[in-house]
Structures are given as C-alpha cells and as structure tokens.
Amino acid sequence: MYIEDLKFSLWCDFVERSFLETEFVDLINAGTINGATSNPAIFKSAILTSPAYKKDIEAMQDLTPKETYEALAIKDIKKAAEKLLPLYKKGDDGFISIEVDPFLCDDANGTIEEGRRLFQQIDMPNVMIKVPATKAGYVAMQQLISEGINVNATLIFSVEQTKHCLEAFKAGSASCQASVLPKAVISVFVSRFDRMLDTKLAALDLPVSKVGIYNALNVYRLIERYALSNVRCLFASTGVKGDALEADYYIKGLLCKNSINTAPLATIKYFIQQSCDNNVPKEEEIELFFDTIKKSGIDVDAACDALMQDGLESFKVAFQEILETLSSYKR
C-alpha cells in the first residue's frame, strides 16, 4: 500500500516492455506502486513506438494481426504479473489488467470466451480481465467472477453503471466455487468530466474542475456501502491535461480509504514528491454542488452517456490502428 493507514494503493497506468524490466521494478521495490493497468490506447503507444517489439513482430509472420497483438500483450502482461507476484502473495494488491477486444463490448459470450482464454493463457493468479461496463459487460463480469477470474470493470462514469457492476460481482461471487474469492475493481473515470464540462461551467460562473472528483466520490461511496469484501473502487483517468491544475490534482482529491488510483507515470512521479493531505469533500458539499449545476442546465447524466460512448470509441480506434499497423508489417 502506498498509504498503509488508508489502505490506499497507487497503480501505474502504463505498460511497455523495456520499462517493465527497469523503472517498473524500481517503483515496486521502492513501495511507490503495487499494481498496474493497461488498455488498448496504452498498448498502441507501446507496440507502435517502442523498438522493443520489433523482433517479436518479425517472428510472427504466420499470425493474424490480432493474434500478433495478443501474443505481444500477453508477453508483457505476464512479465508485469511476475514482477508484481511477491506483492500479490503477501496480500498487497499486485495486480495487472489486460482488456478484452473493445469490439466485443456488446457481445457477452464473446467477452466471456476471450476473458477466460486470456486468463488461462497468461496463467498468473494476479491478472485482472478488463471488461467495459456495458449491458453485455455486466453479464460477462458476473460469469468471469463466478469462474474465479479477477475482473476490472472499466469505463465507469455513472452511479447507475456502478450499481450494475456491483450486482454482477455480488451474484458472481455468490456462485463462485473457488476456495478464495477472485478480486474485482470498479474503475471510475475522473478527469474526462472536467475536460468536457469546465468550459460550460466557467461560462456560467460556476466552479470548475469539480465534477470529475465529486462524481467519482459518489461512485466510491456506493461501492463502500455495498461492502463486498472482494470489490474495491479504482480511480482511473487521473492524469491532468495542460497547466491549469497541479499534476497530481486527481490523486490528492481522491485519497480515500480502501481505494486505488491508477495514474500515468509522470503523474505518479510528481505526486510522490508532494505532501499527502487528505481533504476529501463531504457528501453534503457534493450534493449541493450537483444540485446547483443541475439548476443551471448542466446535465451530468448526459455527460456520462457521452463520455462512455467516447471511451468505447477511442479504445476501438486505438485497437484498430494497432491491427492495421501490424497488418502492414506482414510480408
């Protein structure tokens, strides 16, 4: 744990092969991070820009682009899982996530089959299968948890999505026959709200850079009220764009008990140099804020829906670009 008395964990939102052999290990050994996450956009940046993958890609000429991508991703995720395994064994998180094909977001059976296959192929107990919070995703989450597979519910923007995830995890855990319940996290995205709404709020002379944190806290408190022993809240998308906010703004504002924050590497480096004051807003303050902006015509529910669709689309685009580039490498 990065902050033991809060049971607050810091995970790195970055995976790249050479990094996993060097700085990643240093961050684990220093007690800075105790987990990591990945997504199609992260793998796109790593696979298409880092020379560390060139030899492997050249050796995979007989594979389809998706098979090539999976082989590369599985190798990295397994390596990360091995580095994190000592933390997992002592109960200090130690998880790494891999996301299913984003084009399966509306296909429950396809998501289940791919999640099951990826978990089996990586063959490490500290891997989480990342599943988007769609209608099909909730079905897949319940089934995967029931089979003893750790799940990271991703692209969470609303309390409504959170309820569906919690019910899926509750039902899946109840039917799970594993000797130890698998773990699950509910990844609520934070900073994207403010990038979408701050201009509108400023034009109405309302406080800016609040929606992301306040919405995430509503999600967090619902998760805590459910009190499922194997489910925690993970604050995602906590990097800052531009210079208007401190780099660690979305970490400091969400220093909550029993929570996880997964942040970009640069954000983590900044945060660990600063003081860790805990000034989490109260529920009453959050309720008053949302009531005020609602009366001013700001529709947060519509923003949740739009951000969810944007998130799905961005992961699909990143995934497709990986496949197209890998296809161009084939002779």
Taking CA atoms, 312 is separated from 60, 103, 133, in Å, by 28, 9, 10
Residues 29-53, buried b or exposed e (16+ Cβ, 10 A)?
eeeebbbbbbbbbbbbebbeeeebb
Burial class, 164, CB count within 10 angstroms (exposed 0-12 / middle 13-18 / buried 19+):
buried
Strand 95-99 relative to strand 127-132, pairing: parallel
Q: What is the DSSP letter of 5?
A: G
Provide the CA 236 distance to its chain's centre, in angstroms.
Answer: 5
166, 156 contact by CB (below 8 A): no
Of 117, 248, 114, 260, whose CA–CA distance to 183 is shortest? Answer: 260
Whole-angstrom distance, CA of residue 257 vs CA of residue 287:
20
**Other C-beta atoms within 10 Å of 12: how many?**
25
Query: Exactly one of 130, 183, 210, 252 is catalytic; which is it?
Result: 130
Nearest-5° Cα angle at 61, 59 to 67: 95
Closest by Cα among 299, 74, 309, 283 to 189: 309
- Find all residues with CB under 8 Å of 233, minimum gap 6, and list them: 185, 186, 188, 219, 220, 223, 224, 256, 258, 259, 260
- SS3 state of residue 156: strand
Does residue 183 carry a catalytic annotation?
no
- 11 forms beta bridges with 262
Q: Give backbone dihedrals phi and psi of 139, rounded to 5 degrees, phi first.
A: -60, -45
Q: Which two tokens stand for residue 267?
A: 């954000």
Token output for 316: 């699909």
Residues known to be catalytic: 130
